[in-house]
Structure 1
Amino acid sequence: MNDQSTPDPTMTRIVEAVQLGPSGDPTRARDLLTALWDEIGPTGDALHRCTLAHHLADLQDTAAAELVWDERALAAVADLTDDRAQRYDRTLQVRGFLPSLHLNLADVHRRLGDTTRARAHLGTARDLVASLPADQYGDLIRSGIQHVDQALATGSTERLGSHPG
């Protein structure tokens, strides 16, 4: 987080739970995030819902369960404003969330065999990626778009070696 202006205990809890996944305890991360989702609720703070659902999708055991959380993240971002995001981190802009959200939906639809929806979300991600800077995050999303595009071209429904975005 850069230049935080308002402490956000819920975001702190989300970040702490998310960090458990890569450190080797994805089940605990999923349990903590699911409990946080239950606290926040489907109409709670949009930044919390979007962030939590985006990360919780990655911790699911099946593509079908992942899709549910990816769709929740996209629905939540529709309620998110730049003002709200920037109260947490002055550098955040909602449009910066969108390429990743659509990339994740493209990938999960691809893995579920729904190439029509996968291509639609991939096209949206590709259109929106221009709004991302040429930095590590932007490069990650651009690379993810290429990997999902290649997987679609070969007809693969396998999980990619790394998370697309």
Structure 2
Amino acid sequence: MDPDNPVVSLCAQGMRAEAEGRPADAVGLFQQAWEAAGDDYEACVAAHYLARHQPTPRLTLHWNQEGLRRAELVGDERVAAFRPSLHLNLAKAYAEVGEPERAREHFVLAAARLEAVPPGPYAEWIRIVIAEGLRATGAVPPRDTDGLVTALLGRLCERGDLKALGMILPAHLADLGTEDDRMRLVTALHMVHAGRWLPEDEQRLLGRAIGSSAAVAP
């Protein structure tokens, strides 16, 4: 998003106010952004942020719907990297009002548009949140059906093995259910196994988790 755009600037100020614990100021700035919007692009941005501070789930849903509706009217690439977030927030809003089918639909759409998000911490974060939503709504079946990876991660957490957790956990949490994601997890497990720094019982559990994960079809 263009930081010099006045609507984007107001929304950025609103996010700073939100981070500083000034929700009323944040709402005011997002409302100003909505009132200042001069085209569908600016209205899309303002609606997206205005949805964050609504008093009821239905109003939150309304503003998220409005954000996506305006994005679809833009007709160019300015909103391409923004669309996964629009679909994600709409999915969460549908889940909140008890419409799981619509929630699942938008989690799937969010996942399908992730490639437009530039690599970096934000892309990693939104991928994890989308993956969680896909699993929660049944759009992606659980990968770790025998619980071996989960059991291993639990052991690593108990011991505070940050090195092993740092290698395995991102691939586990960000799994969108694709074959590439399965291979990313298997590769991470193999790397930890090759390091051979885990206690013997965990090393055996890791070996079983590798065999199970490698055998699971996407």
Q: Which bracket does the TM-score occupy, shorter chain normalised?
A: 0.7 to 0.9
Letter in 2 for 1:66: T
Equivalent pairs: percent with the same residue? 30
Q: CA deviation at 1:32?
A: 2.7
Shift in CA distance, 15/81, structure 1 to aligned 2, threshold 3 Å: farther
Q: CA deviation at 1:120?
A: 0.8
The equivalent of 1:89 in structure 2 is none
Query: Within 5 A, what are the aligned runs for 1:30-69?
Result: 30-40=27-37, 44-69=38-63
Q: Is the 8 A contact 1:21 1:59 kept in 2?
A: no
Q: Kindly report structure 1 stretches of 4+ aligned residues shifted beyond 6 Å.
A: none
Give per-residue Cα distances to partners, 1:79-103, cap 9 Å, x unaligned: 32547x4xxxxxxxx2211111111
Shift in CA distance, 13/35, structure 1 to aligned 2, threshold 3 Å: closer
Higher relative contact order, structure no. (Cα contacts within 8 Å, ≥ 6 residues apart): 1
Q: CA deviation at 1:112?
A: 1.1
Query: Within 5 A, what are the aligned runs for 1:131-150?
Result: 131-150=116-135
Give the TM-score normalised by the residue count of structure 2: 0.56
Letter in 2 for 1:52: A
Give the RMSD, CA atoms, in angstroms: 2.2
Give per-residue Cα distances to partners, 1:136-159, cap 9 Å, x unaligned: 121121111122234335xxxxxx
Q: What CA distance in whole angstroms lies between the structure 1 residues aligned with 2:28 and 2:123? A: 30
Q: What CA distance in whole angstroms lies between the structure 2 residues aligned with 1:10 and 1:130? A: 26
Give per-residue Cα distances to partners, 1:16-69, cap 9 Å, x unaligned: 1232112101122112322332343xxx32232111111111122322111111
The equivalent of 2:65 in structure 1 is 71
Shift in CA distance, 126/11, structure 1 to aligned 2, threshold 3 Å: closer
Partner-residue secondary structure (3-state), 1:24: coil
Q: What CA distance in whole angstroms lies between the structure 1 residues aligned with 2:73 and 2:114? A: 20
Q: What CA distance in whole angstroms lies between the structure 1 residues aligned with 2:115 and 2:45? A: 22
Partner-residue secondary structure (3-state), 2:113: helix
Q: CA deviation at 1:13?
A: 2.2
Q: Is the 8 A contact 2:10 2:32 kept in 1?
A: no
1:117 aligns with 2:102: yes
Of Structure 1 and Structure 2, the greater helix share is in: 2
* Count of aligned positions: 138
| Unaligned stretches of 5+ residues in structure 1 | 86-93, 154-165
126-135 vs 51-60, which moves further:
126-135
The equivalent of 2:167 in structure 1 is none
Select 2:74's aligned residue among 73, 77, 80. Answer: 80
Radius of gyration: which is bigger?
2
